[in-house]
Structure 1
């Protein structure tokens, strides 16, 4: 399928959010609390850009990245089409992280002709550094308390993504840097 066909296959952000069963409140919280910078430069490269979002509602990264993208899309009149990763592996497998991982979200920016203009995801590099630091504190996987510590770490990460405005700003800057190329 072409990227235009993938775009047409997707659903609206509103339909995606309405059908969320996990992280819905967290995503809505980030959306409601995040504000684009007053001096936001929202010129976007390419002609009439659109974006395909590969995501799943259980994903903490999507919970923080998608609402920031939606703000950018609203201000630039960018159409957004949401595709669930697990139902669209043929497309997902073309956008693997480090050539092997189905990490999400992935934002595929396309022009009006369906040509890829840019891709972004699954995390801003500054956010990745924070995540790496947090997970580096986990005990070895065979440690008796690994499962408990893993859950605690995920809970901490969700809270950081939900509340830390610096994370939101880093995501915004990273997406915009990609779009300005």
Structure 2
């Protein structure tokens, strides 16, 4: 299937959000709380009205998606970009074309299309600042064989999830990273 067809198959933001069961409240809270800065809006201007589209490979249980998807939606509103959501677990044919490091089905992945439906850019699953944060925090965990590993890992993910929901500097790190992908062309 071509990217244009995947886009057409995807859910609108409203359909995706209506069908969410796990992180809906958190995602909506970020969406309602996040506003692009004037600098971010200015950086996006060259893309306004270019007919860009985005396919979002995602699942509602994903902590990174609850942060990244609402930021993308704000960017999309700013530049009149249509966004469609494709669920990873039921669309592995597409997901497997966008593996992280060639092996991981990490999400979300944003596939940007130009007005002709051709791939324009790919972003995801995390902004580099967030990846550094996650890598740093994971490095502090005990070895996997340690009896406390599972408990400490769960606590880490809970702590990161809370930061994703409340730390607006992380939201702007995500926005800056996405914008970088969009304006490099």
Could you say which TM-score interval applies, normalised by the shorter chain?
over 0.9
Structure-2 residue corresponding to 1:107:
110
2:73 to 45, 70, 74: 70
Tell me the CA shift for residue 136 of structure 1: 1.0
The equivalent of 1:159 in structure 2 is 162
In terms of fraction of residues, the more helix-rich structure is: 2
Contact 1:27 1:63 in 2 (8 A): yes
* 2:96 matches 1:93: yes
Residue 53 of structure 2 corresponds to residue 53 of structure 1:
no
Kept in 1: contact 2:34–2:168 (CA 8 A): yes
- 1:124-163 equivalences under 5 Å are 124-163=127-166
Ranges in structure 1 where 5+ consecutive residues have no aligned partner: none
Q: How does 1:159-178 map to 2 (within 5 A)?
A: 159-178=162-181
Secondary structure of residue in 2 paired with 1:107:
strand
Q: TM-score, normalised by structure 1?
A: 0.97
Cross-structure match for 2:21 = 21
SS of corresponding position for 1:112: coil
SS of match in other structure, 1:97: coil
1: CA distance, partners of 2:136 / 2:49: 36
Which residue is 2:6 aligned to? Answer: 6
Partner of 1:127, secondary structure, is: helix
In structure 1, C-alpha distance between the alignment counterparts of 2:17 and 2:180, rounded to whole Å = 26
How far residue 112 of structure 1 moved from its aligned partner, in angstroms, is 2.2
Unaligned runs of 5+ in 2: none
Whether the 8 Å contact between 1:45 and 1:179 is mirrored in structure 2 is no
1:84 aligns with 2:96: no
Contact 1:45 1:180 in 2 (8 A): no
Cα distance in 2 for residues equivalent to 1:140 and 1:106: 29
Q: TM-score if structure 2 supplies the norm length?
A: 0.95
Per-residue CA deviations over 1:119-160 (Å, capped at 9, x if unaligned) read 100001111001111111111111111111111011001001
| Count of matched residue pairs | 181
Q: CA deviation at 1:102?
A: 0.4
